[in-house]
Amino acid sequence: MTVDWTWWAQLGFILYFLLLNGMYLLLNALSMISLTSYLRERAETGEVAPYLGVEPPVSILMPAYNEEATIRTSVRSMLQLQYPDFEVVVINDGSKDQTLAVLMAEFELEPHPEPLRQAVEHKPVLGIYRSRRYANLRVIDKANGGKADALNAGINAARHGLFCGVDADSILQRDSLLRVVQPFLEDERTVAAGGTVRIANGSQVRGGFLIKAGLPGNWLARFQIVEYLRAFLFGRLGWSPMNAVLIISGAFGLFDRERVMAVGGYRTDTVGEDMELVVRLHRYHRAAKIPYRIRYLPDPICWTECPEDLGTLGRQRSRWQRGLAESLVRHVRLPLSRRGGAAGWLAWPFMALFEWLGPLIELVGYVFMIAGFALGAVSYTALAAFLLVAIGMGILLSVNGLLLETLSFRVYSRRRDMLQLFLMAILENFGYRQLNTLWRVRGLWQWFSRSKHNWGVMKRSGKWGQ
């Protein structure tokens, strides 16, 4: 009896995409439940971020490499945060542009030699400066070592028990620090908390703060708005109640400095240092039987500039995919541990099957089904079923995310903007997501071939910060 392998392959790809999108719909449902509960609690405390007077001091660490276009706006944003006690530490990681010169002129920096503890290793420090205008601003100038190395230098320089890592092309909402610190006040077991990253392109920013959210004219940036909403607000929110959040974005995350130092700080041999640290924190605490919590919150907001050209966006997505692969493989023992918990037994396999290996399976699936149809090996019915689950359910996921955004935070208040975003949620499934799959497969190849990695320089327009 001859086995019709083409029929089984068709069935396999259809079932995979059905499982993929079905699991994301389930995660969206969990996110909806979590969001409803969160909004109910927020309604009880009021729209204004609660200020209790017992908030712990925070060190804001901002690694910077060739950020002359946005560094003024970003630092100004940090200095004006609504928070009782914090410091801002900018780490210039050997920038080749005028980043350090811009900082020195804008904030009146002067040399301020001081010894740094060596709790975690990093490249040599070339100079330490403090601002004559702002007592809580310092700048560390160091040899280039990459983002993780710069963050390690910031951890050594930090004066407070909590540190908040923020990208130098980003700005925080004025109350974001007050909101993201709440889990540390509510539960002493909390070791890390992350907020939502949103796209700043097209928005109006004055004096270091976003005053009106808007849509960029660039279509790539618009697609990314939908993508970020899906990934943050209705992806990570589903994992948070299970204590299974594996990613806290490097653009905005708050950490217990002692716990991070206990696991050795950020690893400098990966491009996914943010995810790798969070997975390592899970593994460390579970192995040592130390109670802990890692939380995601939807309303502490960080606004960041996203790429507006295919080359930069493609390199960014390849880098993210490589970082994800490195983080999961490095901690492959987490799902095999008897103490893996939801993070190891649920989140790790989910990320491995749908995020790590998913792009390769998706690419092969698209090529097989379309080429097979063209050659007559795949029937019209099979192709239609495949496209229904691959594209139709993808549209459903994106539209569902925007509906939940509309019913909750309504960051984009104009009806015209929301209608355009709904259009983007449909159109992204016809080309953009498939292109993203190609970039991610390239990232897998870079990981597999162990090609050299670096900061991953992105073109900055800085227009949103003017």
Residue 113: give its domain's CATH number: 3.90.550.10
Mean of pLDDT over the chain: 90
Task: Give the total residue count for the chain.
Answer: 466
Residue 88: burial class (beta carbons within 10 Å; 0-12, 13-18, 19+)? buried
Give the residue among 294, 180, 281 at the shortest CA–CA distance from 243.
294
According to the model, what pLDDT value does residue 459 have? Answer: 60
In a domain, 392, yes or no: no
Encode pLDDT of 90-145 as tens digits.
999 999 999 999 999 999 999 998 888 889 999 999 999 999 999 999 999 999 99
% pLDDT > 70, the chain? 94
Q: What is the pLDDT of residues 226-247, one digit of tens each?
A: 998 888 777 788 899 999 999 9
Q: pLDDT band at 1, cuts 50/70/90?
A: very low
- What's the CA gap between 459 and 312, in Å, rounded? 7
Mean pLDDT, rounded, for 166-193 = 92
Q: Residues 6 or more apart from 145 whose CB is under 8 A from it?
A: 93, 94, 122, 123, 268
Distance CA 276, CA 230 (A): 21
Three-state SS for 338? coil
Are 234 and 400 spatial neighbours (Cβ–Cβ below 8 Å)?
yes
Burial class (CB in 10 A: 0-12, 13-18, 19+), 413: exposed
What's the pLDDT score for residue 453? 64
Dist CA 44 CA 26 (whole Å): 28
Task: Specify the pLDDT at position 130.
Answer: 96
Task: Report if residue 339 sits inside a domain.
Answer: yes
pLDDT tens profile 68-96: 988 988 899 899 999 999 999 999 999 99
Domain for residue 60, yes or no? yes
pLDDT tens for 321-330 read 999 999 999 9
> Which segment, 165-169, 211-215, 328-332, is predicted with the most confidence on average?
328-332
Asked whether the predicted pLDDT for residue 55 surpasses 50, the reply is yes
Residue 422, in any domain of the structure: no
40-44 mean pLDDT: 75
Helix (H, G, I), strand (E, B) or coil at 96: coil
Domain for residue 406, yes or no? no
Q: 124, 88, 95: which is closest to 109 by C-alpha?
A: 88
Distance of CA 267 to the CA centre of its chain: 17
Domain for residue 435, yes or no?
A: no
What distance in Å separates the CA atoms of residue 99 and residue 89, rounded to the nearest whole number? 14
Confidence band of 458 (pLDDT split at 50, 70, 90) = low
Q: Is residue 419 part of a domain?
A: no
Domain count across the chain: 1
Q: In this structure, which long-range contacts are made by residues 51-54, counting pairs with CB atoms below 8 Å and at least 24 apart in sequence?
A: 51/82, 51/84, 51/178, 52/185, 53/84, 54/185
Structural domain span for residue 313: 21-352
Residue 145 gets the label, from left (phi > 0), alpha (psi -120 to 50) or beta, of: alpha
Cβ count within 10 A of residue 336: 10
456 in a structural domain: no
Burial of 67 (0-12, 13-18, 19+ CB in 10 A): buried
